Amino acid sequence: MNFTAKQIAEYLSGVVEGNPEVKVHTVAKIEEGFPGALSFLANPKYSKYIYTTKSSVVLVNKDSTYEGELSPTLIRVDDPYESFAQLLNLVEVARRPKPEVHPQSCIESSAALGSDVFVGAFAYIGNNVKIGDNVLIHPQVYVGNNVTIGSNTILYTGVKIYDDCAIGQNCIAHAGAVIGADGFGFAPQEDGSYKKMPQIGNVIIENDVEIGANTTIDRATMGSTIIRKGVKLDNLIQVAHNVEIGANTVIAAQTGVAGSTKIGENCMFGGQVGITGHITIADGVKLSAQTGVPNTLKIPNEIYIGTPAMLSRKFTRSFVIFKQLPEMKRELDSIKKFVSSKNK
């Protein structure tokens, strides 16, 4: 990255205020800026740093006003945060490896690769795999037989995709993600042992899905485990067999979803949420961190907290009582003692 303020402003449809020829080669927080860095100012509480930052260029709102002399060149845009995100995307694209198939990768002869595909060292691509255009497959990725991968998808180092799974376009799977491992299905036997139930389904991941590092998505016992378009899964999430997650739902780290549960669209789950199997969660539901969900949540767009999950407004009222329980217990014991003494 080595651009002038003028070039950046043209790319963002912004207006330069200051030296249009000043160059930047990296990015930095506004409070940690240094010469050659580009920063942005979107949150008003950071406004004081516009006077002290050493960054060469700062993206600011087109309507913002500042008193006194400023050292950085400003680029005025409609939304500094969104514009900064556009620049980061540009940097990311510039860092993409050039299309090539590493000689130490292994690609079965029946696999079909699209144009401009990158395959890193020690990656394996199985029989009858179909890979779209502009796909990045980093080193040590395993792609099983009969897998399909859509265009512009990125599989980072160590991703494992089992046989028969389907990955859509513009998806990202981060390091160590496992897609299509067997679901946790075992039948109890009379002697107390467990017999494994064959897991013959697959996983379907639609377009624009991002899967965090070391997240696991189990294949269905029969049919498909389905992750709908636009879903974002954080690191260290477990999605069990036959689960369906609705479009544009986001789930934070260490959440576990048990088998055959159906999650609606546009839901938001905090970290360490636990969801039991064979239930349904309505569209737009928000679950606070560490919420436990043992039953179906039918009402859309509600917020739940606690274990078992409770509507947030009820939880807030109840929590006031929770905090008073020790004092209430002491008062009750005192009353019991008093009553007992009177009855003697």
Tens digits of per-residue pLDDT, 83-123?
Answer: 999 998 888 877 889 999 999 999 999 999 999 999 999 99
Neighbours of 248 (CB within 10 A): 16
Q: Tell me, yes or no, whether 50 and 177 share the same domain.
A: no
Instruction: Kindly state whether residue 25 falls inside one of the protein's structural domains.
Output: yes
Q: Tell me, yes or no, whether 178 and 87 share the same domain.
A: no
Rounded average pLDDT over 148-169: 98
Among 66, 95, 124, residue at a domain's last position: 95
What is the per-residue pLDDT across 226-283, written as a single tens digit (0 to 9) for each? Answer: 999 999 999 999 999 999 999 999 999 999 999 999 999 999 999 999 999 999 999 9
Q: What is the band of 194 on the pLDDT scale with cuts at 50, 70, 90?
A: very high
Q: Tell me, yes or no, whether 164 and 292 share the same domain.
A: yes
Query: In the prediction, which pLDDT does 1 show?
Result: 65
Domain assignment of residue 256, given as a range: 159-308
Q: Tell me, yes or no, whether 180 and 300 share the same domain.
A: yes
Q: Tell me, yes or no, whether 91 and 171 share the same domain.
A: no
Q: How many domains does the chain have?
A: 2
Mean pLDDT of the chain: 95
Q: Tell me, yes or no, whether 164 and 56 share the same domain.
A: no
Q: Tell me, yes or no, whether 88 and 163 share the same domain.
A: no
Instruction: Kindly state whether residue 313 falls inside one of the protein's structural domains.
Output: no
Instruction: Kindly state whether residue 78 falls inside one of the protein's structural domains.
Output: yes
138 counts as catalytic = no
Instruction: Kindly state whether residue 108 falls inside one of the protein's structural domains.
Output: no
Query: In the prediction, which pLDDT does 215 show?
Result: 98
Pairing of strands 194-196, 186-188: antiparallel
Residue 162 has pLDDT above 90, yes or no: yes
Rounded to the nearest 5 degrees, what angle is found at the Cα of 47, between the Cα atoms of 46 and 51? 115
Among 49, 76, 95, residue at a domain's last position: 95
Which residue of the set 25, 174, 241, 278 is catalytic?
A: 241
Q: Tell me, yes or no, whether 81 and 220 share the same domain.
A: no
Rounded average pLDDT over 140-166: 98
Residue 75 has pLDDT above 70, yes or no: yes
Query: In the prediction, which pLDDT does 93 show?
Result: 79
Specify the pTM. Answer: 0.85
Q: How far apart are CA 341 and CA 335, in angstroms?
A: 10
Q: What is the band of 323 on the pLDDT scale with cuts at 50, 70, 90?
A: confident
CATH of the domain at 262: 2.160.10.10
Q: Tell me, yes or no, whether 279 and 181 share the same domain.
A: yes
CATH of the domain at 81: 3.40.1390.10
Residue 317, CA atoms < 13 Å, CB-side half-sphere: 4
Instruction: Kindly state whether residue 144 falls inside one of the protein's structural domains.
Output: no
Instruction: Kindly state whether residue 101 falls inside one of the protein's structural domains.
Output: no
Residue 319 has pLDDT above 80, yes or no: no
Cα dist. 275→182, 195, 220, 279 in Å?
19, 25, 17, 8
Rounded to the nearest 5 degrees, what angle is found at the Cα of 262, between the Cα atoms of 146 and 172? 45
What is the per-residue pLDDT across 117-133, written as a single tens digit (0 to 9) for each? Answer: 999 999 999 999 999 99
Rounded average pLDDT over 207-223: 98
Q: Tell me, yes or no, whether 75 and 176 share the same domain.
A: no
Neighbours of 214 (CB within 10 A): 16
Residue 343 has pLDDT above 80, yes or no: no
Bridge partners (DSSP) of residue 127 are: none
Q: Tell me, yes or no, whether 91 and 164 share the same domain.
A: no
Cα dist. 240→11, 20, 122, 225, 260 in Å?
44, 54, 29, 8, 7
Residue 344 has pLDDT above 70, yes or no: no
pLDDT cut 70: percent of the chain above it? 99
pLDDT cut 90: percent of the chain above it? 86
Across 128-142, 305-319, 327-341, which has the greatest mean pLDDT?
A: 128-142
Instruction: Kindly state whether residue 242 falls inside one of the protein's structural domains.
Output: yes
Q: Tell me, yes or no, whether 184 and 283 share the same domain.
A: yes
Instruction: Kindly state whether residue 233 falls inside one of the protein's structural domains.
Output: yes
Contact 291, 273 (CB under 8 A): yes
